Each structure stands twice: as structure tokens, then as C-alpha cells.
Structure 1
């Protein structure tokens, strides 16, 4: 008896109720890029595929040189199951599919390769995990693309909102409360239907919330938000840095001091990250009598350095300088801290100013500190401790310093941006005591 023909695609779909058409093309991932995307070489050039690993065969849907992952056909042994249920859609994390050892080696190699390209041959020390209890600050987005309100994180390479009920990489006190707070604020401000970015920081005294995107408020809206802050038990609520209500000072511990940073100002991503960076900075500067802390923020390094050294802190934001000075004056036992509000991109400390210090600490934003590095390269400062959140600008600025006579002693990667391609880097540079300068 002849065998029955195999079921048609339509019959299979009817039977299983789960058939979907196969779309896209199949490629092999050859390597990873600096942003954690897998790279496949094709006849039309390289294609970047997020959330893939070298050696994997995957089916993709391509849009130019970018592609969406449709399916993993042959998985790498370095692949593991992401712990976050939103990982496939959310753009916040990029590496949860990597096993830990592979992830560490990849991230460290990115830094080493960047230094080699800048002709900097100093060995990179083992990467330090500084994730700790998780991110102490998150930014959620509120959007109104249709008649409803959407609250969550952005999808990768998109303005589409991925709704979340919790964020597993945030600190325990923040991971479930952040979406609740963002949604409540969105409800209060939805009348204007403006896109909102809501930054929520977990402080010692409660949640500090700064809302961006709304613009000036009516008096009725301000009164409504004051009532909401009380119901949510927020420590402080601000709009574009303008404080609506401060029910308790949102305090951050920095060494022995307690600091209340300006609303919406910079803060290291994790508590352990800040402590780890500060420990290397203070250790390197241990014998320095006078230290310049440049791009100092509200003082995470200056307030710890002042336990042994006199410090001159420089930052463009006057509010940060005021917060640092107030914390210094309220903390007994610290050596003198002076502050200066100054734009170091436009007005870097000049060589004669720098020569008054035994050590200089640099912690610039992602753009780096090129202008300041050039002044340092011409100075007689014995020690520079460079802290950076961008490997490329770190390498550029370090090359400037080494061309001016500094010797790079140590390069220490600190992973406080876990599950992302971002990495903090500490470089310790010294002048040879015997080197004579012209």
C-alpha cells in the first residue's frame, strides 16, 4: 500500500496552530563588534546582528547593514539563557546571552585592542566586577504614540517602548518601584502628551526623581505633583532640575561624607562601582599633599581624597560645586577642599596652575579630556590618575600624556555597566623622577 503524502504546510498550520512563515536569510556569525553585535560577512558587506555569538548559524531579517535576529539555528557553546524576560525586546542590556567567562574575555579584549590601536602596550589587568546590588539609577520613558500611554525602556535601535513590570539589573529597592513611579507621574502629566524621560535614583533617604521633556508646569500641575510625591513617599521630585518638592534631602554617601547632589546631576551607575573606582584613585594618590580633582562632579573622589590630602575640585556645574562644598563643611576630620566652577573643555587648567599639584585626577564624560590632557602633557605634575567610561577617548588622552613624558603604569578595567558593552577604565600614569624636561 502506498504511503500517504506528507501533510502540506497549511495542514500542518491547522494541526499545530503555531506555524509561522520563515522569512529572512541564513548567515554565520564570525566575530563580535565593540557594541556586542555579532558580525556576519556577506556578499554585500558586513551585517550586524544583535544578541548573537561567534560561530553561530542564525536566520536574520536584514535592513541594510543591520539585521534583526529571527532564529538561532546552530548555537554557540558560549550561549546561555538570559535571566531577564524582557531581554529579547529591551534595548537596555546587550550581553545576557553570553556565558560569564566569554563575556569577561570579550569585554577585556575590546579595551586591549583599543589600546593597541593607539600604540599603547601596557598590559590590561583582570576586569573587576563592580555591579554589586545593581544599578542605583534608571531612566524610564513615557510616550503617547497612540491614545494610550506607554511606559518602559526603549527597544534596541528604536523609539518603541517595551513595557516592564520590573528591572532585574536595578537595586532591590528600585527594580519594581521604578515602573510604578514612572507610570504614576505619566498619568499626572499625560494631558500635555509630551514624551517624558523619568530618571529615578535610589538614595539613602528615598527615591530622587527628575522628569525631562515636559517643560514649564502650570501651578495646578505643580500642586498635583507635590501631592503625588507625598503619596509615593519620594524624597525629591524635580522637572528639568527645577525642584518641585524636597520632602527629605536625597543623600548619597561618599566616603565619610553625605552629599545631596543637584537634581538630575551625574552619579556613578552603581554604589560598588563608585567605591571601587574611588579606592584605586585614593590608593594611587596616597602620598600626594595637594590633588586636583578635575571633572569632579559632586565629589565622589574629592571627599575621599580629602581624608589624607588637600583637594581642589573643578567642575563646570556650580550646583555640584555647592553640594560638594556643603558636604565638606559638614564632615569633620577632612583636609581642606576648595572648589571652582569651570568649563574644562573650553578653559582647561593651564600648565602653571597644574604645576602646583602633586597629583591630578581626571574623570571626564564620554568625550574625554583632550584639551586638559594637552596641558598636563606639558606640566611637571608627577602623577595623573585617569578615569574614563570610554575606551577610545581614554586611549586618545593617554597617548597625549605618554607623548609628553608620562609612563602608563597600570590599566584597570572596572565593570559597573554589567550586561552592556560599556566599561570604566582607570589609568595610572607617572613621570620618571629622573627625566629632565626642557
Structure 2
């Protein structure tokens, strides 16, 4: 390992500063373009040691757990707290622009819809019991070292204010020093906790966990390995005006604000469409909103999520008909002939995108397509397939809901 002084030229796709070195690009976490920094070099990675010249767009990180000088270690939850908003917002928008350009798509990309501190209603924490205490937090960047947190500026006050309660429940569940994960979702009735990775519960630990939940206020449900252990109050989230009880640990958009922004873009694009297909529908984030104005066919591979959507639709008055279909769209996409009844389609796939489905959709006569994506690279690939099939790209809007990270959402609208 050598120590050298380098000039940072740009930000990489993961938020690291990039310097040019004789051996190729050098990636330096916690640095910004225009800075001159001292780094300890190990291969293609430089550990920030000092800042000789700081960028005017460097800001004081709002969290004490962030950065190379974090009090309790470098929390891996955020990578860009040191970047001021103008630079940070430009970086996120540019990720989408660059991804589209990589597939030859030149189009205007709308300004980023930003995120703000305290908006995250869903976080995934790691817990581990030690001889002295229960550690709860996030793994250090590129490490299995657990950084114990006392605060989290990205998380909602409802989550941060209950960290002690989450620790008590985690301590009741822990049987050894192995780490385990706790997905925390803020719902209308408090917190919904879904735990994975703990040893099989014996009766004493199950009883202690139940007692801990019942003794605490604000815990709606506790599940372990998908099994509901105790549910003092049914957890409810709302998609539009429709109340839904999501399955334990199921996918939910990380912030209400970003979800609302995506939904508004989707609904505006659908216009007066009368029959809509919602692919990769989950528990109904878009389908149940669309059903207020149009017939919807929701397709999803997760049986529990689909049942939650179906139950919500059946118990809510005033919706247009909602049909559901359990189907793995990666292995068995909707064929062009099956798409004929729909005049509009929405798809929100996992990070892998929906390449197989795009091949069928590109040959279809569906007039309006709305793509929602958490991965600009696979979004660009999918859009290129649709454009080659005759679709015209009307708009692309980037949305931030993973504050101070290198993850960005986008909503694209196409017409044929």
C-alpha cells in the first residue's frame, strides 16, 4: 500500500471520487470532483487520508456515523452525505442520462424529484448480540463489520424514535453472536418488523419476543422468517386511498413521497385508458390507484403480495374491476396476443429489468407504456427494445428516494 496525492476528476456510478493514475482509474470514497486529496492506495481503491484542497460543494455530513471519521466506524448506509445538494442532484440525474446514452437514447431528462432527510419509512437493519450489548445498525462499507447507530437522518422520526424498542425485541430473539436482519416498515399503526437470519425459535425465545412486543407501544407486527409471531395491531399502508396489509417483509417503496411522485406520473400518463395491465404489481402500489379510474389486470409472481392486493381490492368499494394473475414474467412473459385487450400498461420490475417481457411488448399494439425502474442501466436496455419496436419515448423523470446513495428511480412514458 502506498500513499500519494491525487486530483479528483469526477464522481463514479457508485458515488466514489475518481482520480486518474498511471495504473488506471483510482476510486476514492468520500471525495468530490475538483478536490486534491491524500490517499492510501490499494489496487484501484484509495482510502481518503487528508484533503489538501476541498471542493466548494463539500458540506458537513449531518450524521456522526458517516465518513472515514465516523465516531463508531463508517456506516455503509450512505455514500454522499458530504456532497452539497446541487452536486448531489446533478449526479443522480446524470446517472439516468448516462445510462440512456449507453443505449443510444438521446432525450431530455426532467429535473430530479429530490428526497429529504427523515422520509424513509422502510429500512433494513442488522443486529448482533455481543457479550456486553445488542448492536443494531448497518454494515460498514465493503465489510461485515457492524456499525452501531444512535441516529439515522434518512429514516423517519417514527423509526429513529423506536430504535431502543427494536433493540429490546432483537435481544429477545438473539440466541448467539450471529448477525441477523430486521426489515422495519413504518405503517399507520406503528412499526412492522420482519426478521430473517435468526436461529430457529425455541419456546423461551418466542415467549420473550412476544412479551417484549406487548410491553412496548408502537409495534404493529413481528414476523420471523415469514411467520407472524405476534400482531397487536394489523399493519396497514395505503396505496392512494386503499388500505392494504402487506405480507411480512414484502417490497414497499422506501418513501411515501417518492411513491406518490411515481404514482402521479403513472396516472397522468395513463390518461383516459380504460383497461390497464400492471406487471410486477407487488401488493398494488399502482394497480389499486389505477383501479379508481380503470379496469386493471395485476400480474405478480409473489403469491402473498398478490393475495394482499386481491384482498384489498375486494374489500374496497368504488373501484373498477381488478383481476390478478400469479405469473413469473421472467420465465413466462405475457405474449403479444395476451396484450391485445389492454390500451395501457405499467411495469415496475426488479433491478434485473424485464427484457423477456419487452420483446413481447415491443410487438404489441398497447398504446401507452409506463416504465418504473430502480436501475437506470436495465431501464435503458428495456426502453431501447421498445423504441426499436416502434414506441416513441415521451418523457423520463428521475426520482430520489434513497437519500445520499447512488441509487435512483426513474419513470419513463412511451407511446405507439
Structure-1 residue corresponding to 2:258: 273
Once the two structures are TM-superposed, the CA of residue 133 in structure 1 deviates from its matched residue by 4.5
Structure-2 residue corresponding to 1:35: 14
Once the two structures are TM-superposed, the CA of residue 130 in structure 1 deviates from its matched residue by 4.2
CA–CA distance in structure 1, aligned partners of residues 75 and 169 of structure 2:
22
CA–CA distance in structure 2, aligned partners of residues 134 and 392 of structure 1:
26
CA offsets, 1:30-51, max 9 Å, x none?
A: 1110111001111222111111
Within-5 A mapping of 1:350-369 = 350-369=335-354
Structure-1 residue corresponding to 2:305: 320
Deviates more, 1:288-297 or 1:79-88: 79-88
Aligned partner of 1:56 among 35, 44, 47: 35
TM-score by length of 2: 0.95
Aligned partner of 1:76 among 55, 65, 74: 55
CA–CA distance in structure 2, aligned partners of residues 396 and 52 of structure 1:
30
CA–CA distance in structure 1, aligned partners of residues 4 and 57 of structure 2:
23
**Change in CA separation of 1:208 and 1:361 when aligned onto 2, cut-off 3 Å:** same
Structure-2 residue corresponding to 1:18: none
Aligned residues of 2:175 and 2:199 also touching (Cα < 8 A): no
Give the secondary structure class of the aligned counterpart of 2:174.
helix
**Is 2:387 the partner of 1:402?**
yes
Structure-2 residue corresponding to 1:435: none
Structure 1 stretches of 5 or more lacking a match?
1-22, 432-438
Structure 2 stretches of 5 or more lacking a match?
68-73
**Change in CA separation of 1:34 and 1:145 when aligned onto 2, cut-off 3 Å:** farther
TM-score by length of 1: 0.90
CA offsets, 1:112-132, max 9 Å, x none?
A: 111111101111011112447
CA offsets, 1:75-94, max 9 Å, x none?
A: 01111111111111111111
Give the secondary structure class of the aligned counterpart of 2:398.
strand
CA offsets, 1:130-168, max 9 Å, x none?
A: 447410011111235777643211111111111111211
CA–CA distance in structure 2, aligned partners of residues 131 and 384 of structure 1:
29
CA–CA distance in structure 1, aligned partners of residues 333 and 130 of structure 2:
44
Aligned residues of 2:396 and 2:411 also touching (Cα < 8 A): yes
Aligned partner of 1:174 among 133, 137, 159: 159
Aligned partner of 1:210 among 194, 211, 226: 194
Aligned residues of 2:37 and 2:50 also touching (Cα < 8 A): yes
Aligned residues of 2:59 and 2:83 also touching (Cα < 8 A): yes
Deviates more, 1:216-225 or 1:28-37: 216-225
Structure-1 residue corresponding to 2:330: 345
Structure-1 residue corresponding to 2:177: 193
**Is 2:87 the partner of 1:87?**
no
CA–CA distance in structure 2, aligned partners of residues 243 and 355 of structure 1:
41
**Is 2:95 the partner of 1:116?**
no
Structure-2 residue corresponding to 1:425: 410
Once the two structures are TM-superposed, the CA of residue 232 in structure 1 deviates from its matched residue by 2.4
CA–CA distance in structure 2, aligned partners of residues 144 and 256 of structure 1:
41
Give the secondary structure class of the aligned counterpart of 2:60.
coil
CA–CA distance in structure 1, aligned partners of residues 344 and 26 of structure 2:
46
RMSD: 1.5
Structure-1 residue corresponding to 2:25: 46
CA offsets, 1:390-412, max 9 Å, x none?
A: 00000000001111111100011
Aligned residues of 2:169 and 2:213 also touching (Cα < 8 A): no
Deviates more, 1:217-226 or 1:299-308: 217-226
**Change in CA separation of 1:368 and 1:215 when aligned onto 2, cut-off 3 Å:** farther
Aligned residues of 1:131 and 1:418 also touching (Cα < 8 A): yes
Aligned partner of 2:396 among 411, 417, 421: 411
Give the secondary structure class of the aligned counterpart of 2:87.
helix
Give the secondary structure class of the aligned counterpart of 1:71.
strand
Give the secondary structure class of the aligned counterpart of 1:29.
strand
Structure-1 residue corresponding to 2:71: none
Structure-2 residue corresponding to 1:107: 92
Structure-2 residue corresponding to 1:229: 213
Once the two structures are TM-superposed, the CA of residue 216 in structure 1 deviates from its matched residue by 2.5
**Change in CA separation of 1:420 and 1:324 when aligned onto 2, cut-off 3 Å:** same
**Is 2:228 the partner of 1:243?**
yes
Aligned residues of 2:279 and 2:346 also touching (Cα < 8 A): yes
